[in-house]
Every structure is written in C-alpha cells, then in structure tokens.
Amino acid sequence: MNTTDSVSSLALDCVRQLVPYVPGKPIEELERELGISNIIKLASNENPLGPGKKALAAIQSALPLLTLYPDGNGFNLKSALAKKYSLHTDQITLGNGSNELLELVARAFLAPGLEAIFSEHAFAVYPIVTQAVGATPIVVPALNYGNDLEAMAAWITAKTRVVFIANPNNPTGTLLRQTDLDKFIAGLPSHCLCLLDEAYFEFVGSQAEINSLDWLKIHPNLIITRTFSKAYGLAGLRMGYSLSSPEIADILNRVRQPFNNNSLALAAAEAALSDDEYLQQTIAVNNQGMSDLTAGFESLGLEWIPSAGNFIAVDLKRPGQPVYEALLRLGVIVRPIANYGMPNHLRISIGTQAENQFFLKALEKTLANV
Ligand SMILES: *Cc1c(COP(=O)(O)O)cnc(C)c1O
C-alpha cells in the first residue's frame, strides 16, 4: 500500500463522500497572499468588539491552572447557566463550540438507515455531521430562504431521528415565528428529536414572542444549542452548550470526550455570562451596523434578506465570487455562499461602524469595476 489513494479508500464511503466545511478566510492568510495589512474580516459572524474585559480577566486568573486537567463536568459554568436560565444543571451539556453538540447528537442518535431533516440553505455543519455517521440527509426546499416547517413536517418518516433547525438561520438570517416553531415541535412524533440551533438568539431580542426554554418543560425530545462564539465574542476559545431534558443530556455525556472544554474557555465563558454591559454594547453595535449596511445596500440599489442575526445576505443579482475576490484585493473578507446554493449572494458579518463603512465603500468601488 503506497499511494494516498489506496489508503483513503480504506475510509468509510460516507466519509469519503463528505465535502469539507469551508471556513471564512483568515486575516493572516490574506495578509500572506497579498502582502497588505489593515485587512477587515466580516466573514465568520464574530463579535467585532473583541473579547470582553471580564472574560479576559478570567483567562488571566486561570492561566496558573493550565498544568491541571480542566473540570470535565464544567460545574461552575453549568451552575451559572442554570441560574441564568432557571434550569437544572443536569439539563446542560457543554461542547467544544456548539458545533460539537451537533456532532454528539449525530453520533448518539443517527446511523445508516436513519434520516436527518434540514432546510435548503441551512448551516453547512448539519449535512457534515449527518453524513459522517452514515445517516441520510433530507434537504427540504426553503420558503423565502428560511425553514419551511410545514414541508419539513411532511418529510418525517419512521426513519427520521433528528430535525435540525437554526433560528435565526445562517447564512440567510431568516427568523421563524415562535408560535410556528411551537406548533412544529409539539407535532413531532416521539421517535424524532428537534435540534433547535440558537447560535444567534442573543441578537433576536424582542422579535421572539415566546421563550424557547419554556418548551423544554414539555418536550423531552427538544435540544436547544447556544454558543459563546457570537454575541459573547469568544469564538477562538470554542465553547457552546445544549439545553435539553436530563435524559438527552445524559446520553450526550456518554459520547463526549471527558475533557472536551479547556479550562480557559470554561473560566472565560462563566465570566462572559455575567458581563451584561458587553452584551448590551454588542447588541447596540449590531443594531446600528445592520441599519447602516441596509441603508448602504439601498443606496447601491441592492436587495438583501432581512436578518435577525449579526450578519446579512445581500443579493448582487450576479455571481458573488468575482465580487468576493475583488473585495479581497481591497482588504475586505466577506463570505461567498454559493456552497449554500446562493451563488448571487454574499454574506456580510456586521462589523464596527468603521468596518461597515470601509466595506460599503469597497463594495461600491467593486460593483463599478467588476
Ligand atoms: C456559528 C454557528 C454555530 C456554532 O458555532 P460554535 O462556534 O461551534 O459554537 C452553530 N450554528 C450556527 C447556525 C452557526 O452559525
């Protein structure tokens, strides 16, 4: 056995057929390629404010503990989350980013012969975790770029184990009405879990008329995932969590690594959770940025998909890839989303006021030349 080909043929078919996740381009990579600095990245829905002071201070204090294994049960962080959300700690599972929770759910509940349902234009990790365990992805056509709950319900069969729903959805930013979600979850058969991915829930605010956590009291088959990567500004530390029935948390706990969260992430997340000022500032900057960007799109004659997240998909009415590449040359990294079935859109993460203005100028210049 001496070629890479023959070795890779040993991998499971379902893994060989996987298309890897394409992340946003890192700033350092573009710096290396173009030899320029002052690059702005509006490509991965990160918090433009940088990490909060409380989180940074907690990391400093935790540094001397780095020789020790972290608390594998995340007692302090789970206690803080349980208190904040009025839940029990046995309903919480911590993950290396909420991404890991998606993977744990797939590993625990999906297998060849079983099906997972998600929408067209849904988060790219759902097909990956589904296919990685040999289960069958069922992709349901979107309704106005969002989850079509009625159509998704109609696709449920005896083989369905998980329905993945991001609310708001990434990359489209579409928001479902909580009353519609409520009805959908209540109507699920008992052999079928709902994974409600709320990575952006902090940005939704008063647009959500029902608290989704209330559903946990009545639906043992509901898993809600949230993250410290977006509104809490800690994407680099990898910390997310799920809220569910204790039964599901117990199952997820069996398949996770014993020390899946590092000690700096645990300490920082706990501190970040109490940093209301940072969170409020984040939301204010996002709201202002959202209106600045949409005003900018309007004056450029562009349409966009109304977004409840910290990003927005703009419709260029022409292929996005050349525009993306031209923006790179001007030092702006955004996200092409052709791989989400949206070749004419670009997804822009909301930045600081200065970043948003820089981007809009670069976009204007680019559209005039490309
Ligand atoms: C960013 C994102 C996540 C997860 O991010 P983590 O950094 O792994 O917590 C999950 N779902 C959606 C829809 C996202 O956009």
Distance CA 349, CA 367 (A): 19
Q: What is the pLDDT of residue 206?
A: 76
Output the DSSP codes for 26-52: PHHHHHHHH-----EE-SS---TT-S-
- Ligand 1 pocket, 166 CB below 6 A? yes
Q: By alpha-carbon position, which residue is closest to atom 1 of ligand 1?
A: 199
Q: Which residue has the tokens 């450029």?
A: 300
What is this structure's pTM?
Answer: 0.96
Output the DSSP codes for 58-93: HHHHHGGGTTSPP-TT-HHHHHHHHHHHT--GGGEE
Q: What is the pLDDT of residue 2?
A: 60
- CA of 96 from ligand 1 middle (Å) equals 11
Distance CA 293, CA 295 (A): 5
Distance CA 152, CA 154 (A): 5
**How many residues are listed for the chain in this entry?**
370
Q: pLDDT of the chain along its 370 residues, tens only?
A: 565 568 999 999 999 999 888 888 999 999 999 888 889 999 999 999 999 999 999 999 999 999 999 999 999 999 999 999 999 999 999 999 999 999 999 999 999 999 999 999 999 999 999 999 999 999 999 999 999 999 999 999 999 999 999 999 999 999 999 999 999 999 999 999 999 999 999 999 877 777 999 999 999 999 999 999 999 999 999 999 999 999 999 999 999 999 999 999 999 999 999 999 999 999 999 999 999 999 999 999 999 999 999 999 999 999 999 999 999 999 999 999 999 999 999 999 999 999 999 999 999 999 998 7
Domains and CATH numbers, the chain: 7-50+277-369 (3.90.1150.10), 67-273 (3.40.640.10)
**Residue 251 structure tokens:** 């199952």
- Closest ligand 1 atom to residue 99 Cα is 8
- Ligand 1 pocket, 349 CB below 6 A? no
